[in-house]
Amino acid sequence: MPGKGFLKALPILATSAAVILGGAFTISAVTSSLVRYGISKKKEKYGRPCRACKGRGFYPCKLCKASGTIQWSPLYDPLVINPCLCPTCDGLKVQHCLNCLGSGFV
């Protein structure tokens, strides 16, 4: 049969393609992380501290006033008010600064 040679070579081709694509993905991921690291170091060295968060990268949640929960009721005239997890900070009591995107530098 003429197709048997192709069937024998198919696993070798698939393995080599997986190795090449995996290597390309790894090189891309490493390069991306190194560029991101270099940019963050450059921001730390030459950047000004963010005035909104005073260089911390976060500030106390304004919706729950850093308590982690809010008082909420589904009714207009509430009979019972339930404490619920704050949707802005997810109960962490702090928000990432939107001015510096959490880096602390502008």
Q: Which residue has the tokens 């501290």?
A: 49
C-alpha span between 26 and 33 (Å, rounded):
11
pLDDT at 6 over 60: yes
Q: What local confidence, expressed as pLDDT, does residue 40 receive?
A: 86
For a pLDDT cut of 70, what percent of the chain falls above it? 97
Q: Quick check: 10 pLDDT over 90?
A: no
pLDDT tens digits for range 35-83: 999 988 998 888 899 999 998 999 999 999 999 999 888 777 777 788 8
Say if residue 61 is exposed, middle or buried (CB neighbours under 10 Å; 0-12, 13-18, 19+): buried
